[in-house]
Chain A
Amino acid sequence: MKKIMLGNEAIARGAWEAGVNFASAYPGTPSTEVMENLKKYKELYVEWAPNEKVSLEACLGASLSGNRSICSMKHVGLNVAADVLQTLTYTGVNAGLVIVVADDPGMHSSQNEQDTRYFAKMSRAIVLEPSDSQEAKELTKWAFEVSEETDLPVIIRSTTRLSHSSSIVELQDRVEAPKKSLEKNPEKYIVLPANARKLRVNLDNKVKKALSLFESTSFNKIEGDGATGVIACGVAYEHAREAFKYASFLKLSTTYPLPKSLISEFVVRFDRVYVIEEPDPFIADEIRAMNLGVEVIGKEVFEPSLEMSPDLIRKTLFNVEAPKYDLPVLPRPPLLCAGCPHRGVYYALNQIRLKKKDLYITSDIGCYSLGALKPLGATDTTVCMGASLGMAAGLAQNLKSDDGIKVVATLGDSTFTHSGLPGIAELAYNKAPVLAIILDNRTTAMTGHQGNPMSGIRARGDEVEPIRIKKVLKGLGINHIKVVDPIDFKKLQKTIEKMLKLNEPCVIISKKPCVLVERAQNVKYFVDEEKCKGCKVCLNVACPAMSFDKDAKKVKIRADLCYGCGLCVDACLHSAISQL
């Protein structure tokens, strides 16, 4: 049977067909749907872990128990899990262990563009790179065998355009993997230096074994007989097939370790080869280091920050430009939804900052990163998961004075459990005068509303006792904690102002479910045209339901878009907004 499948869905299908028993992940665009699709299969255990490091550790545990395991994460998630990965290659695995890492060239939904293959090279983990959904399924299936054969973890390296493209997949049945017995092997799994030295020697042998598999696998293939030599991998291979009309292709599916004999056999046929890959010239640099006497043109000639595409190849290599029209197109950046409970927090901070100009606001990764956009503009930094707290601590220690708190950190509930706990410990232990605002919307919203330990909703939808955030904060040594409903804007603003007068670590929990999960209030608001002076001050809340009617010189609220949060009522200076 054939079916159209999203790349991530095909990866999940491949794992299922390979008889995977255990899956753990932390959501992150563009990787999230791997787990969302694994959840659809009943034969395996699935979970959302608090972060990527824990999910990879859980997979190693599952592997030791004798079960095949898979975890998935976005590229920056591997930074969090890197500590595990760097030693996991030493210890190796019992049952097959596959790590799906989705890179985001062009940064559609990410803070950077790191290339996972460098991590793989550093740790000597195997990397397989599929180019479409069918291959995503096939390579994931094979990855479990390769992992078991080489005693190494295998990374399925995806990119946004593989993970989030759909194409046709031929489905097969699940084959249960032969059950392995629980492995206890101190020399392999206790990496004290004496053991680690032996494991390090063996690591090179394991990579050699992988290499011998990859030199002969049919997943790497030479196609065509054109005069131009092109080497490509991942979805970039598909772009190359389209942009280079008359070429010979070496399609690589195994990118660490690279099958160097196969590569040199191909490369020496040409005076020059093009290597089409993203985001970095990883393969190109490896080929250059082989000194084959052939010119290698790689990613370095392309404009950085743009994802690979047939258009980009044509423009960069063949000078073919696309048409352009001069139209008055306004930008349409993403923004907080109408009725979003985060809006009140950033509007309050924005208002407070009008008076307290030296207030510094660190923020974090999630929907609420959008609180940084003007006119809200109530954010000075977002760097990585959990950074709001650590950075706030450093800022506060250096900006200390007697006139109260100068640094506010904002982060969401899921980010808090992911990597905020050590940050809170830092604030409490080192007495950093910081106001942390935890935006508790009871879900991991940006990635599609996954449950987390703070909501207590688990991967299959069952519920457990959620983490009591107030108790956790108390336990960590925070003495000033307030819980506020952000829909009550006046109370929220007052609470923030009050807390800022303290000169020690304190936390506000802004608690309200995401408007896409649970609507705050079933009311709508309208503007009384008699009272509206057209001053546009209310537009500073940046609500998608509001706009300025230039003919009437009044603000309008579209009833079909209003979610009834009522923040505009607080923002209006002329009491012109009321309930419909």
Chain B
Amino acid sequence: MDKIDFLFVGVGGQGVLTASRLISHVGFKSGYDVKLTEVHGMAQRGGSVESAVRLAKKVHSPLLSKGDVDFLVSFECLEAARYLEYLKPDGKLLVSDEMLSPLPVISGKAEYPADIMDKIREIGFDFELINASKLAKDLGNPKTINIIMMGLLSKYLDISQEVWIESIKEFLPEKLHEINIKAFMLGRQVS
């Protein structure tokens, strides 16, 4: 591919940045030029979080263009809907079925739109929705949702398993290698 654009979205604390940094590293090792954007500060306090990764022979802007993103990976359902306009019509949407209440729901002013994924399907987007929170829990570490999602994403990319495993090892602290490699393989095997 000429270029591959990824958008990772979720809620502050879900490991969105770790995921995007990992794929940047994978892209870098695979010989691509890489740009990544992240959010810090105010935006991280339980707010909506996005991080973009762009791989190409030469990347100029670190920002994505709406309707042009190849992969939208969302760690939460409502966030998938929020950023859907970035995905290109034949792009791939990967979603973890987690539903986290935003402020209007927490304060009792609104209800979480539980049928949000059906609405996304009605528009015509092709997506894969997996129960990553349960998978992570069963694995013994609820924080591995992000790496499970990376395993799922890896199925769609022409990058060898070895590069991914090497990147996880280079990128994450040693004590987290085993659990995250397991999480990655689990996501890669989800069907």
- Report A's interface with B, CB cutoff 8 A: 2, 4, 6, 29-30, 32-33, 108-109, 132, 161, 164-168, 235, 238-239, 241-243, 309-311, 314, 322-325, 327-337, 367, 369-370, 373-375, 446-448, 536, 539-540, 542-544, 546-548, 550, 560
Contact of B28 among A168, A448, A536 (CB under 8 A): A168
Q: In the complex, A524→B85 CA distance in Å? A: 39
**Closest CB-CB distance, B76 to chain A, in whole Å?**
9
Question: B107 touching A539 by the CB < 8 A rule?
Answer: yes
**Is B101 within 8 A of A547, CB to CB?**
yes
Of the four ranges (under 10, 10 to 19, 20 to 34, 35 or more), the interface on chain B belongs to 35 or more
Complex alpha-carbon distance, A560 and B143, angstroms = 11
Which among B37, B116, B120 is the interface contact of A164 at CB below 8 angstroms? B37
Q: Are A325 and B84 in contact (CB under 8 A)?
A: yes
State whether B34 touches A4 (Cβ < 8 A). yes
Q: In the complex the two chains form, is B61's CB within 8 Å of A309's CB?
A: yes
A335 to B108, CA, bound (A): 15
Cross-chain contact B45 with A370 (CB below 8 angstroms) = yes
Secondary structure of the A side of the interface?
Answer: loop
Known A-B contacts A309-B61, A536-B108; the reply to A327 vs B40 at CB < 8 A is: no
Give the docked Cα–Cα distance between A322 and B67 (Å).
6
Q: Within 8 Å of chain A (Cβ to Cβ): is B59?
A: yes
Closest-by-CB residue of A relative to B87 is A323
Q: In whole Å, how far is B133's beta carbon from the nearest beta carbon of chain A?
A: 9
The residue on B at minimum CB distance from A332 is B102
Q: Are A374's CB and B35's CB within 8 A?
A: no
Taking a contact as CB atoms under 8 Å apart, the answer to whether A330 and B105 are in contact is: yes
Residue B39 CB within 8 A of the other chain: yes
**B 104-135 contacts with A by CB, 8 A:** 104-108, 110-113, 116, 119-120, 123
User: Whole-angstrom distance between the alpha carbons of A542 and B101 in the complex?
Assistant: 11
Q: Which chain A residues border B140 with CB–CB below 8 Å? A: none
- Sample (8) of A-B pairs whose CB atoms are under 8 Å apart: A167-B36, A235-B61, A242-B60, A310-B61, A325-B85, A335-B47, A367-B45, A548-B105
B7 to chain A, nearest CB (A): 13
Residues of B within 8 A of A544 (CB): 46, 100-101, 106
Closest to B82 in A: A329
Bound-state CA distance A424–B66 (Å) is: 49
Cross-interface CB contact of A239 among B34, B63, B112, cutoff 8 Å: B63
| CB pair A167 B47 closer than 8 Å | no
Q: Are A235 and B62 in contact (CB under 8 A)?
A: yes
Assess the A547–B85 pair: CB atoms within 8 A: no
* B94 contacts chain A at the CB level, 8 A cutoff: no
Extra pairs beyond A330-B105, A539-B106 (14, CB < 8 Å): A29-B41, A30-B41, A109-B40, A109-B41, A310-B61, A322-B66, A323-B66, A328-B81, A329-B82, A333-B102, A334-B43, A335-B47, A539-B107, A550-B111
Tell yes or no: B25 within 8 A of A by CB.
yes
Are A327 and B120 within 8 A (Cβ)? yes
Asked if A323 and B105 sit within 8 Å, CB to CB, the answer is no
On whether A108 and B42 interact (CB within 8 A), knowing A322-B65, A332-B47, A544-B101, the answer reads yes
CA distance A165 to B39 in the complex (A): 9
- Residues 63-97 of B contacting A (Cβ, < 8 Å): 63, 65-67, 78-79, 81-82, 84-85
Contact partner, A333, options B38, B47, B78, B142, Cβ 8 Å: B47
Cβ contacts under 8 Å, B100 to chain A: 544
Does A548 lie within 8 Å of B116, measured CB to CB? no
Asked if B180 is at the interface of the complex by the 8 Å CB criterion, the answer is: no
CA separation between A322 and B79, bound complex, in Å?
18
- Least CB distance from A485 to B in Å reads 22
Do A324 and B85 touch across chains, with their CB atoms under 8 A apart?
yes
Option from A6, A108, A332 in Cβ contact (under 8 Å) with B48: A332
Residues of A within 8 A of B61 (CB): 235, 238-239, 241-243, 309-310
| Cβ–Cβ contact B35 & A165, under 8 A | yes
Q: How near does chain B come to A340, taking the closest CB pair, in angstroms?
A: 9
Cα A12 to Cα B85 in complex, Å, equals 36
Residue among A238, A367, A540 facing the most chain B CB atoms (10 A cut-off): A238
> A158 CB to closest chain B CB, in angstroms?
13
Chain B residues whose CB sits within 8 angstroms of the CB of A335 once the complex forms:
45-47, 103, 106
Nearest CB of A to B52, in Å: 9
B113–A328 touching, CB < 8 Å = yes
0/1 per residue, B145-162, Cβ < 8 Å to A?
A: 000000000000000000
Which residue of chain A has the shortest Cβ distance to B25 in the bound complex? A4
* Complex Cα spacing A305 to B63, Å: 17
- Whether the pair A373, B41 counts as a contact (CB closer than 8 A) is no
The 7 A-B residue pairs with the shortest CB-CB distance, nearest first, are: A29-B41, A322-B66, A334-B47, A109-B41, A332-B102, A334-B45, A165-B62
B183 interfacial contact with A, CB 8 Å: no
- Chain A residue numbers with a CB within 8 Å of B104 are 330-331
CA distance A337 to B40 in the complex (A): 15
B-side contacts of A540, CB under 8 Å: 107
Tell me, in angstroms, the Cα distance from A29 to B41 when the chains sit together. Answer: 6
Question: Which of B60, B81, B103 is within 8 Å of A327, CB to CB?
Answer: B81
Cβ–Cβ contact B78 & A332, under 8 A: yes
Min CB distance A437 to B, Å, is 20
Residue of B with least CB distance to A336: B45
Residues of B within 8 A of A374 (CB): 107
B11 within 8 A of A: yes
Q: Give the interface centre of B24, B41, B79, B85 by most chain A CB atoms within 10 Å.
A: B41
Q: Are B113 and A4 in contact, CB atoms less than 8 angstroms apart?
A: no
User: A560 to B113, alpha carbons, bound, how many Å?
Assistant: 22
Nearest B residue to A547 via CB reads: B101
CB distance from A387 to the nearest CB of B (A): 17
Q: Which residue in A168, A314, A330 is a CB contact (below 8 Å) of B110?
A: A330
How many angstroms from the CA of A109 to the CA of B102 in the assembled complex? Answer: 19
Contact with A along B3-47 (1 / 0, CB 8 A): 000000001100000000100110010000111111111111111
